[in-house]
Chain A
Amino acid sequence: MIGSKMEMMFLMRRKIALSLVSVFTCLLAAWSAPVPSLAQGEVDPVEFRHKEIVRTVVDAIYTQGNVGVMDGFYTPTFTRHPSNSDLLTVKVSILALKAAIPDLRPSIPLIIADGNLVAFRLRLDGTLVNELVFPNSVPIPATNQPITLLTNIVMRFDENNLIAEEWDGFDNLGFLVQIGAIPPPQTEPVELPLVFNIQPSPREQQNKEATLAYYDGLSRNDFGVIDAYLRPDMSAYSVFGKMDRTAQNNDLSFLRNAMPDLSYTVDQVLAEANWTAVMYHVRGSFTQPYAASPDQPIQPTNQPFDLLVVTLYQFDEQGQVVESYELFDSFSFLSQLGLNVPRVPGS
């Protein structure tokens, strides 16, 4: 009896928590604005080369499991954020994934470059046919089920065109769900596009500036600015589903009410064609009730959080966001907020 009660408590709390994540997701995805931009130029050979390097590396390491190729394309001091992993740690995690999913198939539905930065969306498909190994942990058994991993990544190249840094929006919660470690959230599955609509745009610079202005509006809690950047029929995608602009704005309000000190710090923003990518940190403290469900508000934990988010925005010709693809580690988000299940004594 205690076990089932605990399970019910856990499921209920998790559902609420995941709802909060969706809210948060929608909020973050709901901004961008029309601004004039620069004329479209010719292909930058360095940016082109950077994108080719990314494609080459992704294919070598995920298709072939050849992590040795990374030595030729990464600096020895390479760091992956937010885990602060070094190159060896990254290699090990890739090999572990490849060992568990030998048929791993990578694809890059979107890649853009801007200066020394490259942003791309990485999708990995395969079947978990072998156990998943993590250092010094008991392996996770194979599920023999298909698995799809998604992440948005920003890479910084150094002056020698070596990859020096990486910011990864990988969502551990979605990953844990897929490997069967925790039950899935009760949301409708969403079909994500495999190919993104990339069109030349004369508004690259304006879109970039619009993205920055949008985040400034978010930090100032200026909903007038926020709305100005979103087309009414826009769609915001996250690992938990798809939302429209109204739903996003509602969620943003709930989140802002629960975390009045919410702030956004843009670390990197880049633009190419009709897309921008932004890597930013969102910070705040859960000090007020979260009341998305009025009869069952989530009580504040007074816990602060600091989260890395990588989001991709598609702009229309008028400079408004048509689609957004946001990824962050929702497991880390929930954990930092302290949204946990209390232990049942004696269980």
Chain B
Amino acid sequence: MRALIILTVMALVVMVAAPLPTSAEANDTVCATVLQTALVVLESACTDLQPGNVCLGFPGVQPSFINGDTGSPFDQAGQQLALSRIGMLRSEALNVTNGRVGLAALSFAVPNSAPPTVAATGLMIGEVELQLTSYSINVRTAFKDSPDQCQQAPAMVILRSPDNAEASLYVNGAMLLLNGMIAIHFQSANSASFIVQQGSVQIVGGPAAQAGSTLVAITDNTGTIMTWSAARPMSEKEVQLLSALQSLTGTYKAFAVMTTPAPATTNCSPVTHVVAHGETLYRIAQHYNTTMQAIIDANNISNPDAIYAGQALNIPCGTPTDTVKVSNPPASNTGNSGGSGANDGTTTTAQPGDSTGTIPCGDLTTAVAGSFNGIAENFSDSGLPMPSIGGGLPCQ
């Protein structure tokens, strides 16, 4: 039955996409429709995502198997594969011609844990390449979205830690301590934005950032992170990108499906909610800032699609999405001490609205900042850091 629904929705997508619009605005409409539909399909198809698996949300994701595993076609929404069998996942960019966009939900399990424990969940959307090992992931996304074709066609990987738990993730050669949700998006072949949507992220040996901020990583051509910027506020483009996703409803619902239910906290009391006509578990969970799974568990619901108007539901205490937990309280903005910037043990935290940075030691500007106040003040006033390429003085 569910497969029939999915096929029907997919057919509708193709129908919507078929008459190719010529203007960018018309394309945006198609793009939004394709993306929204894909997310709805994923939401429906991947409700039982198992720890350590990838679930195909929408056709357009190709796995490369390891150890001579020939695998099998991965083309049905809802189909799941163990990530341990896969060396690489590639998903397609949104295509307005055929109405496809690569979309998959991932559940990263703690290695060798029994029973399997979810370390983090993820979504890959659009043109993404994901290399997987048992202990790390390497993300590459399209180097730019296709602004002329799809303003709302993100190419990104979204990672989320379990509720009330910190996820340690080895991503593109850097260790991330994630307590919330981040979107990873490549600006170019050599720079990736780590956009903190919820909670916080701490880079081991590097900066930290909180919700509303972005860290920019400089990478080599394989995606390996070479150094980090300090956190800056989310750019307008990033806000728009994520807003578009959020407004299309899928992202957070999908995560609600996948995320471990939040344990009750001692600071709140469960409430009872009477289901109104037209309400869904997703909307109710969102309303109370909890997860759908938490409500299912609290009410022993066997069929999430079979709630009815007038039904009384026990709503467990949720996890406020605006709670920020920093596992390693970051130090103040101390700057760099070696010039390379990576793994120097310093940390930097920015709050939304921050606009100043520090200067790496070894650069000319560090050495002269004290005496050359004119330019220093100018930089400070403009909110710009004081950079140096190829120049500079040695650290003392």
A10 touches B378 (CB 8 A): yes
B360 touches A82 (CB 8 A): no
With known contacts A65-B221, A182-B378, A335-B372, A91–B364 Cβ distance under 8 A: no
Which of A34-42, A127-135, A225-233, A252-260 forms part of the interface with chain B?
A127-135
Q: B141-167: which have CB < 8 Å to A? A: 143
B374 at the interface (CB under 8 A from A): yes
Q: How far is the CA of A132 from the CA of B394 in the complex (A)?
A: 22
With known contacts A65-B189, A89-B339, A131-B187, A138–B355 Cβ distance under 8 A: yes
A102 touches B389 (CB 8 A): no
Known pairs A13-B374, A130-B191 / 14 extra A-B pairs, C-beta < 8 Å: A83-B391, A84-B394, A85-B392, A91-B220, A133-B191, A135-B229, A136-B358, A137-B385, A139-B385, A171-B391, A175-B389, A181-B386, A329-B364, A341-B373
B371 touches A136 (CB 8 A): no
With known contacts A92-B340, A102-B143, A136-B207, A332–B374 Cβ distance under 8 A: no
A292 at the interface (CB under 8 A from B): no
Q: How far is the CA of A331 from the CA of B389 in the complex (A)?
A: 12
Q: How far is the CA of A97 from the CA of B188 in the complex (A)?
A: 11
CB < 8 Å: which of B218, B346, B348, B392 contacts A95? B218
Q: How far is the CA of A182 from the CA of B222 in the complex (A)?
A: 34
Interface residues on chain B, size class: 35 or more
Q: B216-251: which have CB < 8 Å to A? A: 216, 218-222, 226-232
CB < 8 Å: which of A80, A98, A151, A172 contacts B364? A172
Q: A56-88: which have CB < 8 Å to B? A: 64-68, 80, 82-86, 88
CB < 8 Å: which of B333, B355, B371, B393 contacts A340? B371
CB < 8 Å: which of B191, B220, B339 contacts A68? B220
Q: A312-347: which have CB < 8 Å to B? A: 329, 331-332, 334-336, 338-343
CB < 8 Å: which of B364, B379, B394 contacts A332? B364
Which A residue's beta carbon lies closest to that of B333? Answer: A136
A108 at the interface (CB under 8 A from B): no
B391 touches A92 (CB 8 A): no
Least distance between B101 CB and chain A CB atoms (Å) = 24
A148 at the interface (CB under 8 A from B): no
CB < 8 Å: which of B340, B354, B371, B393 contacts A82? B393
A102 touches B189 (CB 8 A): yes
With known contacts A68-B221, A95-B226, A134–B373 Cβ distance under 8 A: no
Q: Which 10 A-B pairs have the closest CB atoms?
A: A135-B341, A341-B374, A137-B385, A138-B357, A99-B191, A335-B368, A83-B392, A170-B390, A99-B190, A137-B357
A100 at the interface (CB under 8 A from B): yes
A83 touches B364 (CB 8 A): yes
A137 touches B340 (CB 8 A): no
Which A residue's beta carbon lies closest to that of B379? Answer: A181
With known contacts A82-B393, A83-B393, A85-B392, A135–B190 Cβ distance under 8 A: no
A66 touches B391 (CB 8 A): no
Least distance between B194 CB and chain A CB atoms (Å) = 12
Q: How far is the CA of A342 from the CA of B333 in the complex (A)?
A: 25
Q: How far is the CA of A340 from the CA of B378 in the complex (A)?
A: 11
Least distance between A335 CB and chain B CB atoms (Å) = 3
Q: Is the interface of B mostly helix, strand, loop or mixed?
A: loop
Please, which residues of chain A bring their CB within 8 A of the CB of B359? 134, 137
Offer 13 A-B interface pairs, CB within 8 angstroms, sorted by A.
Answer: A6-B377, A91-B220, A93-B390, A96-B218, A131-B216, A133-B191, A135-B360, A136-B344, A136-B358, A181-B379, A332-B368, A332-B393, A341-B377
A46 at the interface (CB under 8 A from B): no
B388 at the interface (CB under 8 A from A): yes
Please, which residues of chain A bring their CB within 8 A of the CB of B190? 65, 95-96, 98-99, 102
Q: How far is the CA of A176 from the CA of B387 in the complex (A)?
A: 8
Which B residue's beta carbon lies closest to that of A17? Answer: B374
B70 at the interface (CB under 8 A from A): no
> Which of A10, A136, A175: most chain B CB closer than 10 A?
A136
Q: A11-67: which have CB < 8 Å to B? A: 13-14, 64-67
Q: How far is the CA of A88 from the CA of B220 in the complex (A)?
A: 11
Least distance between B361 CB and chain A CB atoms (Å) = 9
A181 touches B382 (CB 8 A): yes
Please, which residues of chain A bring their CB within 8 A of the CB of B289? none
Least distance between B242 CB and chain A CB atoms (Å) = 17
B375 at the interface (CB under 8 A from A): yes
A130 touches B368 (CB 8 A): no
Please, which residues of chain A bring their CB within 8 A of the CB of B392? 82-83, 85, 172
Which B residue's beta carbon lies closest to that of A301? Answer: B371
A190 at the interface (CB under 8 A from B): no
B191 touches A135 (CB 8 A): no
Q: A133-189: which have CB < 8 Å to B? A: 133-141, 149, 151, 168, 170-172, 175-176, 179, 181-182
A138 touches B232 (CB 8 A): yes
B188 touches A139 (CB 8 A): no
B356 touches A138 (CB 8 A): yes
Q: How far is the CA of A132 from the CA of B365 in the complex (A)?
A: 16
Least distance between A17 CB and chain B CB atoms (Å) = 9
B342 at the interface (CB under 8 A from A): yes
Please, which residues of chain B bring their CB within 8 A of the CB of A96? 190-191, 218, 227, 389
Q: 0/1 per residue, A92-125, Cβ < 8 Å to B?
A: 1101111110100000000000000000000000
Q: How far is the CA of A149 from the CA of B388 in the complex (A)?
A: 13
CB < 8 Å: which of A131, A170, A182, A338 contacts B389? A170
Q: 0/1 per residue, A231-270, Cβ < 8 Å to B?
A: 0000000000000000000000000000000000000000
B384 at the interface (CB under 8 A from A): yes
Q: How far is the CA of A100 from the CA of B193 in the complex (A)?
A: 12
Please, which residues of chain A bring their CB within 8 A of the CB of B356? 138
A100 touches B341 (CB 8 A): no
Please, which residues of chain B bring their CB within 8 A of the CB of A98? 188-190
Q: How far is the CA of A82 from the CA of B368 in the complex (A)?
A: 14
B107 at the interface (CB under 8 A from A): no
Q: B193-227: which have CB < 8 Å to A? A: 207, 216, 218-222, 226-227
Q: B304-359: which have CB < 8 Å to A? A: 333, 335-336, 339-342, 344, 346, 348, 350, 354-359
A138 touches B391 (CB 8 A): no
